[in-house]
Structure 1
Amino acid sequence: MAEEEYDYESLGENTTMTQNAFAGALAGIAEHCAMYPVDSIKTRMQVIQTASATSPTTLALNQPMVRTASRNLWRGVNSVVMGAGPAHALHFATYEFCKEYYGANRQGHHPLASAAAGATATFAHDTLMNPFDVIKQRMQLKDSTFRSVRECARMVFAKEGFSAFYISLPTTLAMSVPFQSLQFATYEYFRKVLNPNGGYDPTTHVIAGGLAGAIASSMTTPLDVVKTLLQTRGQSQDARIRGATGFMDGFTIIKERYGLRGFFRGFKPRVLTHMPSAAISWSVYEYFKWLMRPTSHQGNLLPL
């Protein structure tokens, strides 16, 4: 009878930390790479131009950008690959540990426990990933002249110092903690609703992941706009933006220049990025967890 009650939902406590980390690393790389061009467009839409620029809310959609060679939209992807692997490995390994520790694996719905596990994992992930994200966004800019991740990192460090890689971390955490808490809690909720038996089901992971990504990204876009301003400030021609020292400076600049609408710059491409990328990430992660499942329970899992 105990064998029959075993289901896929309890895999987090049966797979090792190394297996969870490996599955998370592959999920992170797949997630970021698949939607990278759309993320580049989102970054360009969010970047604030000089005060003399016209139509600031649509600058990133003008003809020169549309005609930009597709390869430019992939510029900086190496930084994501280098950072996303270890950062997501740490993220998912921490999440699985905390999900069990906080009691999210118990029977029924436990959104607060799932959210708390996601928030804890986010602190570890963002601390490791933030420098790579800064480099990525600098290289994503339309007028970026950096030819490699190494060159970008060296120039940013030489011109702005080590703090440039972490000036946006408080804002990143202020965005990522609610984002990941919402995403993990929403994902776990829809996963259990769509698949109460708890068996491995790719369709469930795709739908639950997509819904979680869409909801979380929609609600945290304003903080993402501030984060982008801080991470790209060194490339700006605007002296005030270059001198921004943190969240409140970034918030004030956006509010004064564009009002409340300014906090939703890049909203559509952000949602269009996170909805499929979350579906991809969770699907890849759950697949590799299923692949590395304990063989003694193989017969109790749904077939691939």
Structure 2
Amino acid sequence: MKFLEQTAYFKYGPNEFSKGSFQSLEEISLIHPNEVVWLNTIGLEHQVEMRHLIERHKLEPFLIKLLKDEDQSNKVIPMQDLLFLSINVLQADRMDLETEQMFFIVSPDFVWTIQEVADDHFHWIRDRIEDNSGIIRQKKGDYLLFLLLESIISNYQSTFDRIYSDPKFENLSHKEVGKPAFTAELEERKQQLFKVKKAVSSLRDTLLKCENATLTSLSISYFSELKEQSINLMNDIDFELYKMDSTTNLIFSVQGHRLNEIMKTLTIFSVIFIPLTFMAGIYGMNFENMPELSWRNGYFFLLGVMLLVGCVSVWIMKRNKWF
């Protein structure tokens, strides 16, 4: 059965630990005295098996409907002694930063995580449980949920650091800023940060809902720490976006300065050659009665006048510091 192949468990207590998979649905038990069960399922298509587990453990029937919705916004729904969370988690290892749906069903005695894809966001938590590192084995399911959500935030932080530390955007020169390829890369980087910001903002709102949830069986003090972490990350992203907006303004400023230099050069040549072109146009007309055409030195006289007009134009522009 595919559900059994894609479902694994961690079971732990202060002095006990075990992990593995199941051979049949009847082996799956979410409740063990003095132990916490972490059940992890990959894939959202196992509706029949998940319904069977919910009904056999007499969990809230509303969970069946919630798990059927494979495309939903972040939700926090308290249910008796359970807490249901639905989160769109950013796949930070992918360059396109797509999201996956993830469900959490949490009680003091068990945590059931259901992931859309097999991305391992939580490997360090498994290692900590197995090595009995820290206080996780002394805590209940709410602390495990805290670590799971903290891992997601840490994943977002790593994604932000990867985008932020791109060497292409360090020690920029005006020559690099003016390249069209740089502008395209900058815009792509901004779009990536906007995706991370959206994911962090959504997770922050989820943590606020968790903090306000009224469940006596679960501790909500952990969510305050997670909320602070998400807010700090949001501030870092906003500051980086502000810097990128400044870089964008610099690009426009450099491009505008270059355009002004080009227009100034063209204007100088226009001011010099427009009157010369005017004079050349007059004496290029084919009228019979043009006395100057019969002058012996008329050609040289006109060249001298043109040279004088050109020099006067240059002198006027230099005097007014136009270049």
TM-score by shorter chain over 0.5: no
More helix by share: 1
TM-score (ref. length: structure 2): 0.26
- Higher alpha-carbon Rg: 2
Determine which structure has the larger strand proportion and give its number.
2
